[in-house]
Every structure is written in structure tokens, then in C-alpha cells.
């Protein structure tokens, strides 16, 4: 697993889709018109509708070659977002994923592995809109089954 | 409503108590987020994974928690949002969302944020850095 550190996916073009933002806002019970009312968006300081901060999890970040971790049994330990500005409805975002660290620690669930995955988004000029980090825990049982 | 810029260190935002978690909440979130891990929606799959029943997506609770700050969108935005997932949220749990201003450096407000269940047990803990525009 350690050899995956530094590996990244190729950037994938995503669009902050109007309908997807509204559905997402509904799903987290955050129905503020700033997310979907066009007039409110236009009048706001952003000049457009925005997306909730955790909306970034919807994007396609591309696959990292050689990193194959089935969802089943993974534990999401920590999640960190950093925004330069909010995501704007309708804009294109170029997203990629990167393994920024991997380490192992003995703990309550045996010899556990910790992967730090970065999921980042840029505008079309390559300027960062947001960066994010997920710390994902691989329990000893998971590592045995998946042989990682 | 008080402006976020007018808060003092130690002040809190108004708590939000969510409705009891329902299966449809989690099915909706699965669809909206694209996270179809079945431990969040299908009982048998949760049991196979050693859980007593389905659990909410950690990101569902994290998504909910951020809405404490949405009413202030005209003053700035969430620049940083860092969460540790501390406990599981089960069906019918009643989650309460909280934020307290811990530190202020001019236009940067640092909050501790917290989601607790009906037994006052933290399920999510972290920080929000709110940047005034």
C-alpha cells in the first residue's frame, strides 16, 4: 500500500449541476434558496447559486491506477474540506484524487491501515477551488480479505 | 437574527435538532450523493457487516451539520470544515447540531462544531473556519 503514496488520477471535468445541487440540499435538509433560487443567487454576493460545502463528494475524481478498495468494510475516520470560495452552480470543476499518505497503527481493531486520500477541484485555469482530505481506515479484517 | 460577524468568543449558534433518522432520509442521501454502500440502506447488509442495523452515512450527518452556517451566507463562507467521525447514527436517533465560536482573528471565525445523539453522545466532532467577506 505504501507504494501508492503520491499516485494520482487524471483530472475529470465535472459540472456543478443545478438539479444535483437541489437534490443534495434536500437530502441534507438544507433548503436555503441560495442553493436553488436563481434570483436569490443573482442578488447574492456570489452572483450565482452556490453548492453546500459537502457537495464536493458528488464529483467524479477519476480512478487512481492500482488502487482498488471496495467500499465494503472501509471506515471513514476523518473528512476535511478547504475552500478558496464556494462552488457555483453551473460552473465546471476539474477534479482529481491523490493518495497523500499511508501508515499503519496497532489499535482496537488489530493492525489497522490509514489511507489519506486527497480529492481536489480546480477551475478551468487550474486555480484551486477546494482541496479535501479523507482519512480512511482499513481494519485488520479488511486488510486480510482484500490482501492490502 | 444576529449577524455571525457580531458574535463573541463563547457565543453559540442556535442548535438544530433533526427529526428522528428515517430510512427514507438515508435512501435520499444515497441517491443525492452517489454513496450506495448498502450498510446505510439495507438491514441484511448492515447485519452482515456486524452492525445491529443500518447506520447513517457519516457524510449525511456532516452535510447536515454545515447548515448551521447557511443562514449567514451573505456575510461570508465556510473556508474550512474538518470532522472526525466519532460514533454511529442509527435509525430513529435524534441528532442535535451545535456550534460555538472559539476564536476570532479579524475576518476569520473559528468554531467548534458537534453533533450529538439523544444520549448526548458525540457522533461527529470538528471545526468550521468561517471567512467573512
Q: How many CB atoms lie within 10 A of CB B118?
A: 12
The rounded distance, in Å, linking the Cα atoms of B54 and B34 is 17
The rounded distance, in Å, linking the Cα atoms of A123 and A125 is 5
With respect to CATH, is domain B10-132 assigned 3.10.129.10?
yes
Q: In this complex, do B67 and A28 lie within 8 Å of one another by their Cβ atoms? A: yes
pLDDT(A32) > 90:
yes
Determine the pLDDT at residue A139: 85
pLDDT digits (tens, 9 = 90+) for A40-86: 999 999 999 999 999 999 999 999 999 888 777 788 999 999 999 99
The rounded distance, in Å, linking the Cα atoms of A143 and B91 is 29
SS3 call for A28: coil
Q: In this complex, do B66 and A53 lie within 8 Å of one another by their Cβ atoms? A: yes
A127 touching B (Cβ < 8 Å): no
Query: What does DSSP say about strands A110-122 and B122-132: parallel, antiparallel, or unpaired?
Result: unpaired
SS3 call for A79: strand
Domain parsing of chain B, residue ranges: 10-132
Model ipTM? 0.96
Determine the pLDDT at residue A120: 98
Determine the pLDDT at residue B114: 98
Please state whether A38 falls in left (phi above 0), alpha (psi between -120 and 50) or beta: alpha
pLDDT digits (tens, 9 = 90+) for B63-98: 999 999 999 999 999 999 999 999 999 999 999 999
Output the pTM of the full model: 0.95
B81 touching A (Cβ < 8 Å): yes
Residue for cell digits 458537534?
A: B114
Per-residue pLDDT band for A133 (boundaries 50, 70, 90) equals: very high
Please state whether A57 falls in left (phi above 0), alpha (psi between -120 and 50) or beta: alpha
pLDDT digits (tens, 9 = 90+) for B16-38: 999 999 999 999 999 999 999 99
pLDDT digits (tens, 9 = 90+) for B93-109: 999 999 999 999 999 99
Within 70-89 of A, beta carbons closer than 8 Å to B belong to: 71-73, 75-86
Interface probe for A, chosen from B3, B32, B59 (most Cβ of A below 10 Å), is: B32
A62 touching B (Cβ < 8 Å): no
- What are the φ and ψ backbone dihedral angles of A2, each rounded to 5 degrees? -55, -35
Q: In this complex, do B64 and A30 lie within 8 Å of one another by their Cβ atoms? A: yes
Question: Where does residue A6 rank: exposed (0-12), middle (13-18), buried (19+ CB within 10 A)?
Answer: exposed
pLDDT digits (tens, 9 = 90+) for B38-54: 999 999 999 998 899 99
Domains of chain A: 2-15+60-146 (3.10.129.10)
Cβ contact B9:B103 at 8 Å: yes
Amino acid at each position: 500500500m505504501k507504494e501508492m503514496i503520491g499516485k494520482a488520477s487524471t483530472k475529470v471535468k465535472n459540472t456543478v449541476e443545478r438539479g444535483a445541487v437541489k437534490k443534495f440540499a434536500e437530502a441534507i435538509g438544507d433548503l436555503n434558496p441560495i442553493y436553488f433560487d436563481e434570483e436569490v443567487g443573482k442578488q447574492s454576493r456570489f452572483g450565482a447559486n452556490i453548492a453546500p460545502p459537502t457537495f464536493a463528494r458528488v464529483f467524479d475524481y477519476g480512478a487512481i491506477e492500482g488502487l482498488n478498495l471496495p467500499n465494503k468494510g472501509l471506515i471513514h475516520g476523518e473528512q476535511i474540506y478547504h475552500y478558496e470560495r464556494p462552488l457555483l452552480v453551473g460552473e465546471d470543476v476539474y477534479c482529481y484524487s491523490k493518495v497523500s499518505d499511508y501508515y499503519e497503527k496497532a489499535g482496537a481493531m488489530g493492525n489497522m491501515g490509514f489511507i489519506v486520500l486527497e480529492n481536489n477541484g480546480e477551475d478551468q485555469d487550474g486555480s484551486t477551488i477546494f482541496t479535501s482530505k479523507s482519512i480512511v481506515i482499513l481494519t485488520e479484517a479488511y486488510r486480510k480479505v482484500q490482501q492490502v | 437574527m444576529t449577524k455571525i460577524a457580531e458574535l463573541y468568543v463563547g457565543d453559540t449558534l442556535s442548535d438544530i435538532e433533526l427529526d428522528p433518522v428515517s430510512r427514507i432520509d438515508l435512501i435520499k442521501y444515497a441517491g443525492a450523493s452517489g454513496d450506495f454502500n448498502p450498510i446505510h440502506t439495507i438491514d441484511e447488509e448492515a447485519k452482515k457487516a456486524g452492525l445491529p442495523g443500518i447506520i447513517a452515512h457519516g457524510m449525511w450527518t456532516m452535510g447536515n451539520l454545515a447548515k448551521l452556517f447557511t443562514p449567514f451566507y451573505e456575510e461570508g463562507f465556510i473556508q474550512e470544515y474538518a470532522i472526525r467521525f466519532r460514533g454511529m447514527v442509527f435509525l430513529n436517533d435524534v441528532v442535535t447540531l451545535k456550534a460555538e465560536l472559539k476564536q476570532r482573528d479579524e475576518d476569520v471565525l473559528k468554531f467548534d462544531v458537534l453533533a450529538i445523539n439523544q444520549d448526548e453522545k458525540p457522533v461527529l466532532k470538528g471545526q468550521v473556519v468561517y471567512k467573512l467577506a
